[in-house]
Each structure stands twice: as C-alpha cells, then as structure tokens.
Amino acid sequence: MKYFICLAILLLTFSGSANEPSEIRIDPPHWWAGMNYSSLELLIEIKLKSNENYIISEVIGNDISMVKDEEAQNRDYHYVTLNIEPNAPSQKLKIMGWRMGDNSRVPISITYEFKSRRKNLHEFIGLDQRDLIYLVTPDRFVNGNKDNDIVKGLREKTINRNEGFSRHGGDLQGLTSHLDYIKSLGASAVWTNPILINDMPVYSYHGYAITDHYKVDPRFGGMKAYKKYSRELHKREMKLVMDVIPNHMGTYNRLFQDPPDSAWINSWPLNSDLDERGEVDSTALTNHRYTSIFDPYAAPIDKKQFTDGWFVHSMVDINQRDQRCSNYLIQNSLWWIEEVGVDAFRVDTWVYPDQNFMDNWSKQIHKVFPNFFIFSEAWVHDGSSQRFYFNENKTLDGAADFMMYSSWKDALENPTTWNSGLNAFYKNLGLDYQYKSPSRFITFLDNHDEGRFFGKIKEDMSLYKMGVAMLYTMRGIPCLLYGTEILLKELDDHGKIREDMPGGWVEKKGDRNAFNNSGLSQDERDALSFVREMAQIRESYPLINTGSFRHWAPYDKVYAYCWYDDNEIVLILMNRSDREEIFDMNRMTELSFKDIKIILDTQLQMDFNESERVSKFNRVELGSNGLKILHLTR
C-alpha cells in the first residue's frame, strides 16, 4: 500500500529556487467505485514549513468532483470532500493544487485511485447462530515467521517469551497455517485481538493501542499476511472477525502527536508529553461508571469523566463528537471491510465512546454493507445495563453476553442452591425477554481478559465438559478462547492468561503440542477430543441454534433445555450435584416424542440398552456432575 505519494516535481517557482519534493499522505489511501457512499472526506497531510500553506484547487475525474477543500486547525492537514456519483467508474483521479511559501508557488498533483470492487469478497459476510467463533491473541498463538519478531525502527526492541507483557513473536502467518486445526474445533469464524500497528515502547503485543489506523503491524506480517489470512479463511468458508477500537488509540499515533485538530482528542489537561512507557501521567482517566449514561440523576461531571476520561495512560481517548473525527473513523472502518474482506467487527469498549457516534457508525456501515455483523464488548454487571447498551443502538447486531458469562461462572463454580448455581443460570436466561435479539448474543466461558475457564472451575474435568457442552448448544453464537480446548488454566494476569499456545513455537521433541496432539496429558487429550465431539454434534444436529428453545426449572439440581421443531428434539440435561440424579421425561408434557437416542453422556459409560430403559420408565439417569444429550424424534 502506498501511504505517501510524491509531490509532482513540476517546479514553477517565482523565485527560481528549487523546493524539495515533500511527502503527502491521504487517508483513506484509496477508495472504490460502486460503494454506495456518495460523500468521501479525504484527510490530506503535507508536512509544511512554518511559512507555507497549500490549497487543493481541483479534482479531475469521471463522475467524481470536489465539493470543498478546507484547511484544518493544523495547517498541515486539509479536509477535501468528494462527491461521488452512483455510476462513477473505477479510475485514477487527479487531485491538483498549489503549495505556497513566501516567494514560491509549487504545483501539487496527486493521483488518487478509485479501485474496482472484487467479486465474491463478501461471500461470507455476517455471522449467525450457526457460527462459532474462535478467539486468538495473535502474538501468542503461532510464530510462523521468526524474521518478523523484531522489526527495526519500531519502538519496542525486544521479544521475551518468559515475560507476560512482552511480545512473543506470534503472527498472522502462524495463525493462517493452523486454520484447519481451528476448523476442527467446530469454529466457522476467527476473531483476533487487534492486528493494526501498535508502535509503542512497551506492552505493544495486545494490539489495543493503535498507532496507525491504516497499517497492519509488520510483526504480525503486515498487510500482505492479513490479506492472505482472509483468503485462506474464506477458502475454508470461514469468517474474519476484526477487533476495532473507536474509543482510544496509542499515544504514539500521529493523530495525537500531531492532530489535525485538538478537538479530535479528549484530554484534560491537553498534554502530549510522554514518559518512557508512552504514558501521559497528567491526563484524567475514565471513572468506568457506565450507568452514568442512562442514570436520571447523574452529575454531568461524572458523565463527562466516564466518556472523555482515558482508558489507561498510554491510550488516548478519541472525541468522536467531532464531525471530522467521526468521518475519519467511519471511513476507516468501511475501508478495512472492503480492503481485506472483513465479515464482522467485534467492538472493543463499546460503552466508552460517544453513544450517538456509535449508533451512527454502525448505521453507516450497514448502509454500505447491509449484511455485515457488528457485536459489542459492553462489559456490564447487570441485565438492565446490558439491555440499554444492546437495545438502544438499533443497528448493533450482537453483543458479548456478559450476563450469561457471569451466570455460567455461578452455575459451574458454585453449588446449586435456590438462588445460585444452575438456578442462577436458569433465572438469567429467563431475562432474555428484555433483549432485542438474544439469539445474536456472543456467548463465552472465558475471554482474553479474565481467568481461564478450566482454572476457575478448579480443574474439574466433569465441570469442564458440562461447560463446553453447554457453550456448544446454548442460544447465541458461541465463542471459544484459544487454548481452552486443551485446558489452559491461568488465572492471574493478562500476560499469563494470554499464554503461548503449546505447539506454536519450535520446541524440543516431546513438548506439548496441541496441533499434532503430542506431549499432551491424558486430560488435555480428552478435552481436545471432547471439544471435537461437541463440534461434531453441533454439525450433525443443525436444529441446535435454529429450532425453538425451551428450558425447565432445575429440580434436584438437574437442569434441562432443548431445541425443537415439529420433527425432532435435541434435549440437553445436566446434573450439578455430587450424586446420581434423574430427569423425569414426563416434564416434557406436550413436546411428545417417539424414539430416543442418547448422543452424548459425559459421565456414565454409554449403555446401549439405556434408550429402551428411558422409554419404559420415562426417566433419564444422570451421573454426578454429568451431562447428557438426547435426540428425540417426534
């Protein structure tokens, strides 16, 4: 990709002295014909000397014309608005102007490309309930290219696999070469933590401190690797989920170091002095009071601090209320979808940016890509807040289901009492009445921010299987964190939770390797094959996540739910007690059925006469902390 286009060196000076060729940057660096986007606002940057200024006087194109050229508060930048007729063909525009100094006048001539859109690029766009997402921290999955581990000229100079907060060398090449493994777990989509460049002095591996909105981190393989990754996903009919961050960016982003306008940044006091970690100590942080947005009594200062305070000292809070900044972010998002063939966005820290902007942002994306899927990370702790942040944004497609996540923790980490354990899970699911589209929630047992599932359930294999089986059969779109399939279990801190995937680095012979199933413990092998078994069940019974859903209140610590239609039922039963329990099939009432087939039992040995026994006595036996899946024909 060309970020910089050389100034045409047609010197026409009044003084006769030659000017040095300068560099020009335009964001977005190119666009496409036929995008259903009529007004494009280019952000042009030319590094001027103090006595200089410039104008853009003319745009020469076919059915594309310049509406206006406006100088930004920072004179290096101009906003140039183009009007694009619906039938404008792909072409190379000429953007013409003049750069002027005290005694000089140099013509500017820039070529700007409107490309043709690629056919079939969006064949797999969107997500639905039949999808399953696999979440990867790209620095920690597979190191496919050692040569990009340290890239000269970037601020973080080292890698250190013994240090949780250092870079470890994983990249998109490594991820791409393991997509078949990911697919074998039942995943049809991959969400990576952000892959755009984080040129920060420390702690850059996680990707949430973007320093250039148009550049893939070269340590992840750059744009070429990202495009190949997209092609290889689509070849397998899998989907690409990009992690986007409208709320903040890294302090080394030029939009903070040298912003077009100070209004693009929320900061008080406005101070861009960075310490050696890239942090601005003086800035106010967010108070994390997400209820202040809808609280009828909220003090204005609390609202302001919530929305405008920085997330951390190394990430600049962006002011999306500024119209130019808003345009920049919207166009940037559209650009990535079309450039790479992104199928869905996961939106980081959804509740922290201006909420009117978020609504408009998702609206604009859907205008160009109606089937695109956007889901939020709105990390809240009660259903009413989850409802507010999901329902209020009409064009937000889905949301990470933090309420189900916490009720799962309750169900599997605590004993089942009247209000806790499986009862908490049952009651939480009943609160689905309040959400606009609960089937579009993203469900998860663990994520990259909190302790891993297997650690939280104290390494209990029965509860592990119960959790995974529920994840693969619950309403919503399941998301599996990398390594949960082989029992990674760290609880302590981000660096450790995001540990290296065993097998992703060249190791000694005999070391643990998830990808070729070698060096794993018996439990780890069991877990991996159990996840694949669940993938198989989900594949073989498409009624799961498409039929009607029903559940039964826990009796004797036994909870049941099912998917059904007129022809069949997939019934999931679980016992969250330390002794054997039974489920009384008479509770199915009008969901009548004929034949019974037991398709999974996590606890008791599969017994071929069992189906007959169940039919005869109308009771299903469940082992201690066991889960069964039955297929019933009607």
Binding mask 479-508 for Ca ion (x = CB under 5 A): ------------------------------
- Residue tagged 């942080």 (tokens): 285
Q: Does position 348 bind Ca ion by CB under 5 A?
A: no
Q: How far is the CB of 171 from Ca ion (least distance, A)?
A: 4
177 is a contact residue toward Ca ion (CB under 5 A): no
Distances from the Cα of 232 to the Cαs of 119, 175, 226, in angstroms?
16, 10, 10
Q: Which of residues 266-305 bind Ca ion (CB under 5 A)?
A: none
Q: Does 148 bind Ca ion (CB under 5 A)?
A: yes
Instruction: Show the binding pattern over residues 379-408: x = contacts Ca ion (CB under 5 A), - = does not.
Output: ------------------------------
CA pair distance 191, 374, nearest whole angstrom: 12
Tokens of 98: 């003049």
Tokens of 619: 């009771």
| Per-state percent for the chain, helix, strand, coil, to nearest 5 | 30, 25, 45
> Cβ(135)–Cβ(480) under 8 Å?
yes
Given the residues 377, 401, 524, 581, select the one marked as catalytic. 377
We find the least distance from the C-beta atom of residue 145 to Ca ion, in angstroms, to be 5
Using a 10 angstrom Cβ sphere, with 0-12 exposed, 13-18 middle and 19 or more buried, the burial of residue 394 is exposed
CB 336 within 8 A of CB 242: yes
Which residue's CB is nearer to Ca ion, number 320 or number 407?
A: 320
Q: Is 377 a catalytic residue?
A: yes
Our answer to whether residue 612 is catalytic in this structure is: no
Quick one: 61 or 169, whose CB is closer to Ca ion? 169
Cis peptide before 269 (omega within 30 of 0): yes
**169 touches Ca ion by CB under 5 A:** yes
Output the smallest distance, CB 195 to Ca ion, in A: 13
Site membership for Ca ion, residue 62 (CB under 5 A): no
Q: Which of 22, 104, 137, 143 binds Ca ion (CB under 5 A)?
A: 143
Cα separation of 163 and 90, whole Å?
Answer: 49
φ, ψ of residue 391 in degrees (nearest 5): -75, -35
Active-site hit among 171, 199, 338, 348: 348
Residue 542 is which amino acid?
A: P
Q: Please, which residue, 148 or 333, has the CB nearer to Ca ion?
A: 148
Q: Figure out which of the listed residues 27, 171, 339, 601 binds Ca ion, where binding follows CB under 5 A.
A: 171
Nearer to Ca ion, 105 or 321 (CB): 321
Q: Which is nearer to Ca ion, 16 or 269 (CB)?
A: 269
CA atoms within 13 A on the CB side of 563: 19
Question: Which segment (171-179, 196-204, 506-514, 534-542) binds Ca ion by CB under 5 A?
Answer: 171-179
User: Which of 149, 392, 526, 568 is close enough to bind Ca ion by CB under 5 A?
Assistant: 149
In the complex, least distance from residue 412 CB atom to Ca ion, rounded to whole angstroms = 34
Nearer to Ca ion, 247 or 462 (CB): 247
Does 317 help bind Ca ion (rule: CB under 5 A)? yes
Nearer to Ca ion, 148 or 211 (CB): 148
Which of 256, 352, 402, 559 forms a contact with Ca ion (CB under 5 A)?
352
Minimum CB distance to Ca ion, residue 247 (Å):
5
Q: Is the peptide bond before 478 cis (omega within 30 degrees of 0)?
A: no
Beta bridge partners of 480: 134
Closest approach of Ca ion to the CB of residue 293, in Å: 11
- Can residue 546 be called a binding residue for Ca ion (CB under 5 A)? no
Give the binding-site size for Ca ion (rule: CB under 5 A): 10
C-alpha–C-alpha distance, residues 336 and 242, integer Å: 9
Nearer to Ca ion, 218 or 260 (CB): 218
State which of residues 53, 81, 145, 577 lies at the interface with Ca ion (CB under 5 A). 145
Amino acid making up residue 21: P
Q: What is the 3-state secondary structure (H, E, C) of 262-294?
A: HHHEECCCCCCCCCCCCCCCCCCECCCCHHHHC
Closest CA to 334 of 2, 1, 34, 4: 34
Element (H, E) at 62: none
Q: In angstroms, what is the minimal distance from the CB of 317 to Ca ion?
A: 4
Q: Which ranges of 138-238 does DSSP label H, i.e. alpha helix?
A: 172-176, 179-183, 222-235
> For the window 241-260, what string marks contact with Ca ion as x by the rule CB under 5 A?
------x-------------
> What is the DSSP code string of 565-615?
-SSEEEEEEEE-SSS-EEEEGGGGTTS--S-EEEEEESSSPP-TTHHHHHH
Question: What does the block give as tokens for 191?
Answer: 């969400």
**What's the min distance (Å) between Cβ of 283 and Ca ion?**
12
Q: Rule CB under 5 A: which residues touch Ca ion?
A: 143, 145, 148-149, 169, 171, 247, 307, 317, 352
What are the catalytic residues? 348, 377
